[in-house]
Amino acid sequence: MRHGSLDWLGLEDKVCIITGAGGGIGTAMAMRFADAGAKVVLLDQQEPKVLKAAEAVKQKTGIEPVVQVCDVADPASVAVSARTCLEKVGPCDLLINNAALLRPGSLEEITLSEWNALIAVNLTGYFLCAQTFGQQMRIKSSGAMVHIASISGTHPQGFSGAYSISKAGVVMLSRQIAIEWGKFGIRSNVVSPGMVETEMSSKFYEEPGVRERRSAVIPMGRIGQPDDIADAALFLSSRRANYISGEEITVDGGYTRMLMNLIPRPGYSQN
Ligand SMILES: NC(=O)c1ccc[n+]([C@@H]2O[C@H](COP(=O)([O-])OP(=O)(O)OC[C@H]3O[C@@H](n4cnc5c(N)ncnc54)[C@H](O)[C@@H]3O)[C@@H](O)[C@H]2O)c1
């Protein structure tokens, strides 16, 4: 059977909207949800990327996902996508907010338009999708949302402009959805990845030695892969997480627990 071992997740025939589905983590999540029997709908601003992702899902799972070119920062574009998805596959059961940008820049130098452009996608885009697809969930009194944030939402990452700030906002958006829409049977949770190898981060790994230096500060000793994030999103969306809401799962191989290890303590070090 196609998704026999994944039946325990209870995701069969669930309508699952994934934003930023043309990217590394988005495509991995599309594979995972399709494999679990969900009806996946792939949203992305970049048509070639999302079509490529849809083809990859079809090749791997035999399921042909619905594809929508959508700019999550544009309310009209999100509204059209929501209407089209409703007509094609029915009301949304699961929303995976994932589309985001990362841009370099120090706080003293980034311009207002750079700030606004990033917040528009990374935070306002998450809100717009939650509000619009959440409406379909509220009508049928059930649904689950997973918002992909970042460890940088808790630990500020300098010279990334508004990125860390947007991710901190996503964490609070999720908590607020959990408390306001719990009465509609909607759960809302966050997955916060650490370092993951995708197009967003690929430039970093082009530099000689970066992979080794990064791996050395992660207890698991390796850079995260998109599937690591997809598995956490799959769990939080599933019936196995039926009473979990307003929470955050960090998926970073233990990296953010390394703080105490940075303190020099002669006699207590293995090296
Ligand atoms: N890669 C990492 O190391 C890492 C670490 C922490 C968090 N994250 C988060 O994981 C998520 C996925 O990141 P990724 O690494 O797969 O990135 P990616 O760049 O591979 O994919 C992001 C996708 O979002 C799409 N997108 C961008 N703006 C959009 C818009 N306005 N409307 C619709 N789609 C839009 C892009 O076209 C792209 O396909 C993001 O939220 C990111 O912040 C990634």
Atom 20 of ligand 1: nearest residue by CA position: 23
Residue 244 lies in a domain: yes
51 close to ligand 1 (CB < 6 Angstrom):
no
Tokens of 59: 């090749």
Task: Give the pLDDT confidence score for residue 1 in this predicted structure.
Answer: 43
Residue 124 lies in a domain: yes
Of 29, 13, 21, the closest CA to residue 81 belongs to 21
Cα 212 to Cα 193, 216, 220, 227: the distances in Å are 19, 6, 13, 21
Residue 160 lies in a domain: yes
Number of domains in the chain: 1
Residue 266 lies in a domain: no
Residue 188 lies in a domain: yes
CATH of residue 107: 3.40.50.720
Of 194, 184, 183, 181, the closest CA to residue 221 belongs to 194
Task: Give the pLDDT confidence score for residue 162 in this predicted structure.
Answer: 98
Per residue in 71-120, pLDDT (tens digit) is 999 999 999 999 999 999 999 999 999 999 999 999 999 999 999 999 99
d(CA 236, CA 248): 10
Share of the chain above pLDDT 90, in %: 94
Per residue in 187-237, pLDDT (tens digit) is 999 999 999 999 999 999 999 999 999 999 999 999 999 999 999 999 999
Which atom of ligand 1 lies nearest, measured to the CA of 229? 10
For residue 240, report the distance from its CA to the centre of ligand 1, in Å. 26
Residue 207 lies in a domain: yes
Q: What is the domain extent for residue 150?
A: 4-254
For residue 130, report the distance from its CA to the centre of ligand 1, in Å. 17
pLDDT exceeds cutoff 90 at 64: yes
pLDDT exceeds cutoff 80 at 244: yes
Task: Give the pLDDT confidence score for residue 152 in this predicted structure.
Answer: 98
Q: Which residue has the higher pLDDT, 2 or 209?
A: 209
166 close to ligand 1 (CB < 6 Angstrom):
no
Residue 268 lies in a domain: no
- Residue 225 sits at φ, ψ, to 5 deg, of -115, 155
Which atom of ligand 1 lies nearest, measured to the CA of 71? 32
Atom 42 of ligand 1: nearest residue by CA position: 100
Residue 17 lies in a domain: yes
Which positions are catalytic? 163
Which atom of ligand 1 lies nearest, measured to the CA of 193? 6
Task: Give the pLDDT confidence score for residue 262 in this predicted structure.
Answer: 87
d(CA 188, CA 177): 6
193 close to ligand 1 (CB < 6 Angstrom):
yes
pLDDT exceeds cutoff 80 at 3: no
